[in-house]
Amino acid sequence: MPVEFLTDVQAAAYSRFTQPPSLAELERFFFLDDTDMALVNKRRGDYNRLGFSLQLGTARLLGSFLADPLDVPTEAVDFLAEQLGVADPSCLKAYGEREKTRLEHQWEIAREFGYRDFPAVEAELVRWVDDRAWNTGDGPKALFEGAVVWLRERRVLLPGVTILARLIARVRDEAMQRLWDVMASMLTTEQARLVERLLEVPEGARVSDLERLRKAPRPPSGRNMVKSLDRVAEVAGLGVGALGLDTVPHRRVVELARWGMSGTATALRRHRRSRKLATMLATVVYLEAKATDDTLEMFDVLMTTDLLARAERESKTEKLRRYPRLSKDAAKCAAAVEVMLASTEWGEEITIELLWDAIESVVSRAELRTAVTNLTDVIPPPDADPNGDWRATLVTRFAAVRGFLPLLTEVVAFGATAESTPVLDAMRALPGLLPAKASKRVPTGFLDARLVAVDLVPAGWWRPLVFRPGRPEGTVDRAGYVFCVLEQFHRHLKRRDIYAAASTRWADPRAQLLTGAAWDAACGPVLNDLQLPADPAELLASRAGDLDAAWRHVAAGLDGDAGVRIDDEGRLHVKKDPAITDPPSLTDLRKRCEAMMPQADVGEQILEVMTWEPDFFKAFTAASGGQTRLDDLHVTIAAALTAQALNVGFTPVISGAQALTRSRISHVDQNYLRAESYAAANAPLITGQAEVALAQTWGGGLVAAVDGIRFVVPIRSVDARPNPKYFGRGRGVTWLNMVNDQSVGLAGRVVSGTPKDTLHLVDLIYSQDGGRRPDVIITDSGSYSDIIFGLLQLLGFDYRPQLADLPDAKLWRTDPDTDYGPLNSAARGRIDLTRIDRHWPEILRVVASIHTGAVSAYDVIRMLQRDGRPTPLGDAFAHYGRIFKTLHVLRVVQDEPYRREIKGMRNLQEGRHDLGRHLFHGRKGELRHGYREGMEDQLGALGLVLNCITLWNTVYLDRVLDALRATGYPVLDADVARLSPYMRKHINVHGHYSFLLPELLDGRRPLRDPDAATAEED
């Protein structure tokens, strides 16, 4: 073994044929064009011509000449012999008799085709390896493979494997050392001492300060909010957050921070000092942002669910408690009013005494006076804020926020837009107001009115709560004012008008938009990529023309379409499409396919897919960056993935084998299973699925559906939110994921609670793990908004949400005077093209910033809306989106295949989710992680295993169909298109699990006999 990062097998495979070349490789590297033929035909004898051609093809494919030019697969010899018209390829044996001939041919090929020796480019390769190692942090194996490709592309004959491997190892080590030295040099002596001290275990403590700071306080509470702020202050107090790391690639900082966040303090202490300081610097910088994120996330949970929502619930409870009394009082008042109304028909002069006699016959005057008093006390005036009741309840919770209010703006550095600055100033002033001692003028529970921001108190229910009747003169109610400011601060924070500079998730999205030189550099390529013009006039005219033509087309077809009608209010109604019944041929085909599928455990399927897709296994690398591979690592990874995806824990996958011990599985789970590994491992699965003929009959991979699957989180977590519809009395999260029309998952992410998918949709699409980028995006109605329509169309996607309530969908036109006949009443909205044109430069900058990854679409969408209403820029996006929303609705109205395609993709995703729930069966199907990272790791494993099963099922379904066709069974294309790769009867997900692959003669399991399998089930 030349160096430790290459195994004997890998070293032996270097510049050698380890397997026959594929047809594509033969056609690319061994095809002889006219120039090649002219050179080959200068040789005398078939064996010389064939041998020369073999050396030429070998140099092209392998990047070097073989010591034995005849050590090639017979497929290459036969391919060349056919081109040269050599009837007997065995004549090649004579080519090796004269060594000088072989060498002369190598020299000639190198001269004629520009092949160079390695020393000529060694210095250039060293620079390339150094740059790549510095910027990417790739391991030596990846650098080695990249260097081989680099040399082949430049027609450089590969050096010996030892020479190249040692060069890679040396240059990478130097780049790593330079990275550590650069980052370590940024720290002052005092800062270095402070970050190193984090690795020590203080006297009386059980863990180091680093391990303590890595864990966020939970569950959400006022007390833990104080602890969380103390954590931010402690990390920020180290003074390294402000150090500029712009000279170091961001990816390298993230990698070091990941190791610092996951490695033990003992292991970190053992590093050489420069590496230790660099790792700790990256970790502390990351930890400051994460601590800020965790704190603001907890603040959001406290405000949203523990304070605002609880106050609203308590208010409703109080209303229900008072209802019996109110109903009695209201009934008495109603009886009196009925008498008064009836008196108008008495037909005689009515006196007050007569009227009161009639009223008192049904309710006494005293009872009526009491009823009116009771109702007046509890019923707000007609112009009152409907949310006033719960706000009145909220101010009674002052003790819940008093502890952390003085620290929030002191510890976290907030910024604000001009509009939100007064709110932030008022928030910053609160700590100075709260400790004020009581006096005769300002007693306990009140604040001096001269010191508060009176202008911030809005009219409605906050004003009577802040300026409570009966308060001492010149004061305001303390709890009312505090919650008035706190609610506005929280609202502005959620829409990022107030933001935290050190945060990642709560930062200012405006500051992340492309500007200056970055915008100038990105503008041209991005607009060309997205086919967006700098001047929108022609584009908008074209879009308006498309919309006008669609209106006219639908209007013209209404007479003959019995499935479409317009009601009296001008709303469109479409008759429900009849369900497509399963023909007997499809029912029987599904039954036979299920019966013929081989039976397997989930772990066996994962291991088998690893043999089909080697890059799937290679994607799992140690978080520490170490290159040493454990024996039977693939088995342990399969076990860890099975335990996570089935939610059963480690016990059912443990056995006596060394690769399946608890400690081994736990080690691999912590060090190899993470988001980056899942994304890298998913890419070859997506590619593999696209190459299966059956998957190609289902679709081309250009249509994708996005939806979420809900998981209850039974433990307290800042990342879990309530929703009674999905989580009952508990809280939970949503795993938002995307699947294409070839049935394979492309991306997934965890979001708190059940937010509208709109906020996360675009970011999910741009986080695709691999495969072709879809052109069409299908969602449910929960993801629908006019802004999303506009944004996705500008980003180059065709957005097609399923419309749950078509009659309620408002439709739009560009010209209010155009006559669309019976559709005039339906086209009641007007699209303002001038508004789009006016904001076009800003629209382009936002779109380019999202497309290049400079800013999160989630933050941008929030920025484009305020309190549920779009900003002027958001309104421009919405007007552009209304063009495509209306086109979409009109096509839904008239095009049944269009509707069925949307429904079909939604059903496909539901099928995948159903399989996901079937797999994730352990622990009642609940997600038991308190932190987002743990949730993402486990659901990432679920998504990866789902794709393994999908690929495994698709491959074997394809073989089943071939076997059925070979026996003469009538396999109809229409039935094949409706088969699902999510069948599960043949997959074991319960009990203990096997991780041993049987002997596979041709790399595949034998299919079962359908008749025997059916008999067994019966």
Q: 657-689, pLDDT tens digit by residue?
A: 899 999 999 989 988 888 888 999 999 999 999
pLDDT tops 90 at residue 134 = no
pLDDT tops 50 at residue 1 = no
| Percent of the chain whose predicted confidence (pLDDT) is above 70 | 91
Q: Name the residue with higher pLDDT: 573 or 746.
A: 746
Residue 855: per-residue pLDDT: 87
Residue 307: per-residue pLDDT: 72
- Dihedral of alpha carbons 279, 284, 286, 287, sign: positive
Residue 686: per-residue pLDDT: 95
Residue 532: per-residue pLDDT: 93
Q: What is the pLDDT of residues 331-378, one digit of tens each?
A: 888 888 888 887 777 766 777 777 787 888 888 888 888 888 777 766
Sequence-separated (6 or more) residues with CB below 8 Å from residue 43: 49, 52
**Confidence band, pLDDT 50/70/90 cuts, at residue 320:** very low
Strands 446-448 and 475-477: antiparallel
Question: Quick one: 946 exposed, middle or buried, by C-beta within 10 A (0-12, 13-18, 19+)?
Answer: buried
pLDDT tops 90 at residue 161 = no
**Confidence band, pLDDT 50/70/90 cuts, at residue 1012:** low
Q: What is the pLDDT of residues 932-977, one digit of tens each?
A: 888 999 999 999 999 999 999 999 999 999 999 999 999 999 999 9
CA torsion, points 102, 103, 104, 106, in degrees to nearest 10? 90
Residue 86: per-residue pLDDT: 87
**Confidence band, pLDDT 50/70/90 cuts, at residue 388:** very low
What is the DSSP annotation of 40-88? HTTS-SHHHHHHHHHHHHHHHHHSS--SSTT-S-HHHHHHHHHHHT-S-
Q: What is the separation, in whole angstroms, between the first and last Cα of the chain?
A: 56
pLDDT tops 50 at residue 524 = yes
In the predicted model, what is the mean pLDDT of residues 537-547?
95
Contact 799, 775 (CB under 8 A): no
CA distances from 446 to 388, 435, 436, 480 (A): 20, 11, 10, 9
Contact 820, 555 (CB under 8 A): yes
Q: Name the residue with higher pLDDT: 733 or 19.
A: 733
Query: Does the predicted model carry a pTM greater than 0.85?
Result: no
C-alpha span between 365 and 383 (Å, rounded): 29
Most confident among 20-34, 193-207, 461-475 (mean pLDDT): 193-207
Residue 790: per-residue pLDDT: 95
Residue 649: per-residue pLDDT: 92
C-alpha span between 16 and 168 (Å, rounded): 20
Residue 881: per-residue pLDDT: 95
pLDDT tops 70 at residue 249 = yes
In the predicted model, what is the mean pLDDT of residues 315-333?
64
C-alpha span between 290 and 214 (Å, rounded): 9
Residue 9: per-residue pLDDT: 54
C-alpha span between 734 and 713 (Å, rounded): 10
pLDDT tops 70 at residue 1016 = no
Amino acid identity, residue 400? Answer: A
Comparing CA positions, the residue from 60, 851, 92 lying closest to residue 514 is: 851
Q: What is the pLDDT of residues 719-765, one digit of tens each?
A: 888 887 888 878 899 999 999 999 999 999 998 877 666 678 899 99
**Considering the chain, what is the average pLDDT of its residues?**
86
C-alpha span between 549 and 320 (Å, rounded): 55
Q: What is the pLDDT of residues 595-646, one digit of tens each?
A: 999 999 999 999 999 999 988 998 898 766 555 567 899 999 999 999 999 9
pLDDT tops 80 at residue 217 = yes
Q: Name the residue with higher pLDDT: 832 or 325.
A: 832
What is the DSSP annotation of 657-702? SGGGSHHHHHHHHHHH-SHHHHHHHHHHHHHHHHTSHHHHHH--S-
In the predicted model, what is the mean pLDDT of residues 517-543?
90
In the predicted model, what is the mean pLDDT of residues 764-774?
90
pLDDT tops 80 at residue 11 = no
